[in-house]
């Protein structure tokens, strides 16, 4: 990676600034290559914006920002990823962008508009240094946005766009501290204070839209769940005693990426031995030993959508009797939870099914002696929505076709727990991705080995990645 300051110096020394400006103007309409053929269709994003505008009503205005870029260190940023509500409404993946929705429509520079995207333009610096930018013209053409403008115009036209508005909708985007993103947010905040309008948080409306997945979204979810399942399988095949946890993490990330994932949905959790009992462990540095169990929670993100899969398996490829006993209890609880998922049922039925199986199982094994002790070893909820966020909005209690969520009970027995020490350092979570269908539920991650026999069979296979 090279430093941007060098470029700035060169630009300052340019003997033909005029030519630079000509090139810059030409670049405004630069072609934008589309490398992917399976992005969600622009018509779907358009329909989402229209549905949101119908709910907002005439006379209202919606102003939305994507996430700001975040510094990692010095002049290096974290890999950019847009705000999920913004991605949901636009499909626009670049930083420094804002969307204004005007359900009643208004006139901007003599043109009737009801939606305006503000984004970066392609210029000489972006071409030389930053890679491809879509730019306003391509955003209209490729994303079906009614009207797009360069983001430097945001402050100047906000008054025109909002004229006569009586209601404001927005979301709580993280504030930006630099660049055009910060300038747009400052202009918006100034306008908002001057307008006297109370902001209505739109997250509730968007949450109810996002919790029901369309056929196109389900296609994407299937892809990312399958890619994530493959990653678990390759990790199981490769895992051996005396590997580091990060070596397993490297394998899953590799499999996500060669299956087209742009990101991991969240940092891989590869917890072995005592680390298997830490719910969101992702240090992944420990040397794994014969006899350890691994609790591995990892999934990719594809076209913005994340899967979320956890499997637990023994480092040496064969479960110990104690690991197997705990595993079978958690698997039975996962199965009971999934069996309670169907249209019209509610979350409470899943909670009850899982809690009963876990309680009965741990009592039978003597890990607990009364039902009230379950919380010592099972301290999280059984699931959450999945989608653009790995913890996706899921406001409705009753299951409906198109909902996608996880079922993920677990048992975590730390060293020193009040039970026979033969159970210590066993952490087991089994997490599947469930889609509610018209008639029941589909386990999208059923191909990822789940039973003791399936896991031991998979682990006995040779790995092409580690040669053993
Ligand atoms: Mn999860």
Q: Reply yes or no on whether 303 is catalytic.
A: no
| Residues 254 and 202 both lie in one domain | no
Last residue of a domain, one of 209, 233, 268: 209
Which residue range(s) make up the domain with 429? 212-459
Tell me the helices (H) and strands (E) count for the chain, helix number first: 15, 19
Is 114:146 a contact under the CB 8 Å cutoff?
yes
Q: Reply yes or no on whether 412 is catalytic.
A: yes
Tokens 């199981």 sit on residue: 236
Is 411:382 a contact under the CB 8 Å cutoff?
no
Distance CA 453, CA 392 (A): 32
Distance CA 290, CA 69 (A): 43
> Which CATH number goes with the domain that contains 295?
3.90.230.10
Q: How far is the CA of 390 from the centre of ligand 1 (A)?
A: 7
Q: How far is the CA of 192 from the centre of ligand 1 (A)?
A: 37
Distance CA 441, CA 399 (A): 10
Distance CA 52, CA 89 (A): 9
**How many domains in the chain?**
2
Q: How far is the CA of 263 from the centre of ligand 1 (A)?
A: 17
Distance CA 344, CA 307 (A): 24
Q: How far is the CA of 266 from the centre of ligand 1 (A)?
A: 10
| Residues 190 and 225 both lie in one domain | no
Q: Reply yes or no on whether 391 is catalytic.
A: yes
User: Is 74 among the domain residues?
Assistant: yes
| Residues 127 and 201 both lie in one domain | yes
Which residues lie at CB < 5 A from ion ligand 1?
A: 308, 406
Q: How far is the CA of 93 from the centre of ligand 1 (A)?
A: 24
Is 242:288 a contact under the CB 8 Å cutoff?
yes
| Candidate list 4, 8, 72, 75, residue with the active-site label | 75
| Candidate list 123, 335, 431, 432, residue with the active-site label | 431
Q: Reply yes or no on whether 442 is catalytic.
A: no
Strand boundaries in 380-431, DSSP class E: 404-407, 410-413, 426-429
| Residues 135 and 259 both lie in one domain | no
| Residues 236 and 312 both lie in one domain | yes
Q: Reply yes or no on whether 223 is catalytic.
A: no
Tell me the residue length of the chain. 468
Per-residue pLDDT of the chain (468 residues; tens, 9 = 90+): 444 443 444 444 444 444 444 444 444 456 899 999 899 999 999 999 999 999 999 899 999 999 999 999 999 999 999 999 999 999 999 999 999 999 999 999 999 999 999 999 998 888 888 889 999 999 999 999 999 999 999 999 999 999 889 999 999 877 888 889 999 999 999 999 999 898 888 989 999 999 999 999 999 999 999 999 999 999 999 999 999 999 999 999 999 999 999 999 999 999 999 999 999 999 999 999 999 999 999 999 999 999 999 999 999 999 999 999 999 999 999 999 999 999 999 999 999 999 999 999 999 999 999 999 999 999 999 999 999 999 999 999 999 999 999 999 999 999 999 999 999 999 999 999 999 999 999 999 999 999 999 999 999 999 999 876
Q: Reply yes or no on whether 263 is catalytic.
A: no
Q: Given strand 441-443, what is the order of strands in its sheet?
A: 404-407, 432-436, 441-443
Tokens 């039975």 sit on residue: 332
Q: Reply yes or no on whether 377 is catalytic.
A: no
Q: Reply yes or no on whether 159 is catalytic.
A: no
Q: Reply yes or no on whether 429 is catalytic.
A: yes
């Amino acid at each position: 990676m090279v430093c941007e300051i060098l470029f700035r110096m060169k630009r300052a020394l340019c003997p033909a600034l005029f030519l630079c400006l000509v090139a810059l103007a030409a670049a405004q309409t630069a072609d934008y290559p589309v490398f992917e053929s399976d992005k969600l269709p622009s018509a779907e994003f358009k329909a989402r914006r229209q549905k949101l505008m119908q709910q907002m009503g005439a006379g209202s205005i919606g102003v939305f920002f994507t996430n700001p870029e975040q510094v990692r260190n010095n002049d290096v940023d974290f890999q950019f990823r847009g705000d999920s509500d913004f991605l949901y409404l636009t499909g626009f993946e670049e930083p420094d962008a804002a969307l204004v929705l005007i359900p009643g429509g208004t006139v901007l520079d003599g043109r009737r508009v009801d939606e305006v995207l503000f984004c970066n333009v392609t210029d000489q610096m972006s071409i030389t240094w930053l890679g491809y930018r879509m730019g306003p013209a391509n955003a209209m053409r490729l994303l079906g946005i009614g009207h797009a403008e360069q983001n430097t115009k945001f402050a100047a036209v906000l008054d025109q766009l909002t004229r006569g508005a009586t209601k404001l909708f927005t979301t709580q985007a993280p504030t930006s501290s630099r660049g055009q993103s910060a300038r747009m947010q400052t202009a918006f905040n100034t306008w908002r204070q001057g307008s006297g309008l109370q902001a209505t948080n739109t997250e509730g409306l968007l949450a109810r839209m996002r919790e029901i997945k369309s056929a196109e979204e389900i296609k994407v979810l299937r892809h990312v769940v399958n890619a994530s399942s493959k990653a678990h399988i390759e990790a199981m095949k490769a895992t051996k005693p005396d590997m580091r946890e990060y070596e397993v993490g490297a394998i899953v990330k590799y499999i996500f990426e060669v299956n087209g994932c742009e990101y991991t949905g969240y940092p891989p959790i590869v917890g072995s031995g005592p680390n298997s009992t830490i719910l969101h462990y992702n240090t992944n540095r420990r040397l794994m030993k014969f006899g350890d169990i691994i609790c591995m929670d990892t999934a990719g993100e594809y076209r913005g959508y994340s899967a979320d899969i956890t499997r637990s398996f023994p480092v040496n490829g064969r479960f110990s009797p104690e690991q197997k006993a705990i595993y079978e209890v958690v698997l039975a609880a996962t199965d009971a939870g999934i069996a309670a998922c169907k249209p019209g049922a509610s979350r409470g039925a899943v909670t009850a099914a899982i809690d009963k199986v876990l309680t009965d199982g741990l009592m039978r094994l003597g890990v607990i002696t009364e039902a009230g002790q379950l919380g010592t070893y099972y301290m999280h909820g059984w699931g959450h929505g999945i989608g653009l966020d790995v913890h996706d909005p899921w406001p409705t209690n009753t299951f409906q076709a198109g909902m996608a969520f996880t079922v993920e009970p677990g048992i975590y027995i730390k060293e020193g727990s009040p039970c026979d020490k033969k159970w210590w350092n066993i952490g087991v979570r089994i997490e599947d991705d469930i889609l509610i269908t018209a008639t029941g539920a589909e386990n999208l991650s059923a191909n990822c080995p789940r039973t003791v026999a399936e896991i031991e069979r998979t682990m006995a296979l040779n790995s092409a990645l580690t040669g053993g």
